[in-house]
Amino acid sequence: MTVKFIPSWSWDINKTEDKLAQLASEGFLLTGFKKSGKFIFEKGKKEDLKFRIVKEKNYNGKVPKRFTENGWEKCAECKNHYIIKNPDKKNSVAPSYKQWVSYYRKVQAISFMIFCMALGFILGMITVFKENQPSNTVLIIILSIMILLILTTLFIAHNSNKKILSYNTNSVDFDFTIPKENFIYSKKDEKIMLKSKQMIKKSSLFWISAPDKAEKMVEKMAQEGWKFYRFDKLGTEFYFIKSKPCKLRFVVDFQDEISDEYISITKEMGWKLHFASVTKVEGYCIWSKEYTDNDNVPELYSDYNTMSDFFKRRFYKMTIPSVLAVIIYINLIILLLTDGEMTPPKITLCIISFIVIIEYGIFSVKSIIGYLKMKKRTKDL
């Protein structure tokens, strides 16, 4: 029996899977593992295997039949996790990384909330305390180290998610969130078209809180002779080009998992993909389809439970931290205004805090309204 420790195994699942495959090719066959990073191997025959580390909330000790029928075999397990292997490296039928993506997103959300609190506290202490007391200096240093650790955690979680999500959509060549095939014009041509009014753009930072309004806006623009062209990479700017008036169905489609299969099937039905959220698990895609007066209005039937879950997650993971950030920065402004004379650093910090409050405040209000609307819409079905 051989024991190897991989303490950071859960921070880069794909790297750990590759490591297990490499060890199997050297004759180290996995027989067990612990969440602490302890992996147990038996020395045996060298094998060329593919591994998948599965995170499952309600794991009952059994691997789903559709995976065992495709050659997957369990080789190790621990609470809410199991590892399976397959000698067929080209087998595309494999468990989803969905639970891992959710895990990394939770880590990011919690880290970001702590980061906002710590940063606000540090800025307040630096500005308010005029005397360089040793205790305050030590506290600021500790909080600064904490912020660096949080930023490192955010970076690692983001990279892990990005790597996992790239496995989901190999059939489409994305430029971040936009299919590359959608960039018909060069940036130079787009600038010329914007100046000549042959192209216009509309901006909306928080339109996703009310997707039905965005859908109607784009469809109305098409009828007025402004056909939707593309989004910017963050999905906050809508680009339109001058064209003949037409009827266009524009749909925001929420999905548990944005996969190659989902994209291929939807494209075969005549829909054009414009945007796929950064998170390809529990995210959304934006599609459009032209039709005529003789056609029925095309529809993509989103699962309203998926849509409701999306806004629910958004509410708990983003809106609540945003509200907390607003409260912290309001308290910081009050502290600055009541702490004697207003100096240039204090005024600067007040202005920055005010901008943060406005941005997070608008986002929070729109997110809450979107969540309540979707909740009511789901209840009425």
Domain shared by 144 and 182, yes or no = no
Among residues 172, 163, 378, which one has the least CA distance to residue 266? 172
Domain shared by 146 and 179, yes or no = no
Q: Determine the Cα angle at 8 with ends 176 and 19, to 5°.
A: 80
How high is the pLDDT of residue 329?
81
Q: How many domains does the chain have?
A: 3
pLDDT at 66 over 70: yes
How high is the pLDDT of residue 141?
74
Report how far residue 65's alpha carbon sits from residue 60's, in angstroms, rounded to the nearest whole number: 13
**Of 257, 286, 302, the domain-final residue:** 302
**Of 167, 188, 207, the domain-final residue:** 167
Structural domain for 136, as ranges:
97-167
Q: What is the DSSP string of 151-184?
A: HHHHHHHHHHHHHHHTTT--SS-EETTEEGGG--
Give residue-wise pLDDT tens across range 213-251: 899 999 999 999 999 999 998 899 999 999 999 999 999
Question: What is the mean predicted confidence (pLDDT) over 157-180?
Answer: 71
Residue 240 lies in a domain: yes
Residue with tokens 């041509």: 189
Q: Predicted confidence band at 304 (pLDDT cuts at 50, 70, 90)?
A: low
Domain shared by 187 and 143, yes or no = no
Q: Kindly give, in sequence order, each residue whose CB lies less than 8 Å from that of residue 24, ignoring residues fewer than 6 positions away.
A: 30, 46, 47, 48, 49, 51, 85
Domain shared by 218 and 245, yes or no = yes
Domain shared by 203 and 147, yes or no = no
pLDDT > 90: percent of the chain: 34
Domain shared by 179 and 290, yes or no = yes
Of the ranges 178-182, 202-206, 238-242, 254-258, the best mean pLDDT one: 238-242
How high is the pLDDT of residue 250?
96
Report how far residue 44's alpha carbon sits from residue 1's, in angstroms, rounded to the nearest whole number: 10
How does 49-67 read in b/e, with b if 16+ C-beta sit within 10 Å? bbbbbbbbeebeeebeeeb
Domain shared by 178 and 269, yes or no = yes
- Pairing type for strands 199-203 and 237-242 reads antiparallel
Domain shared by 179 and 162, yes or no = no
**Of 27, 55, 86, the domain-final residue:** 86
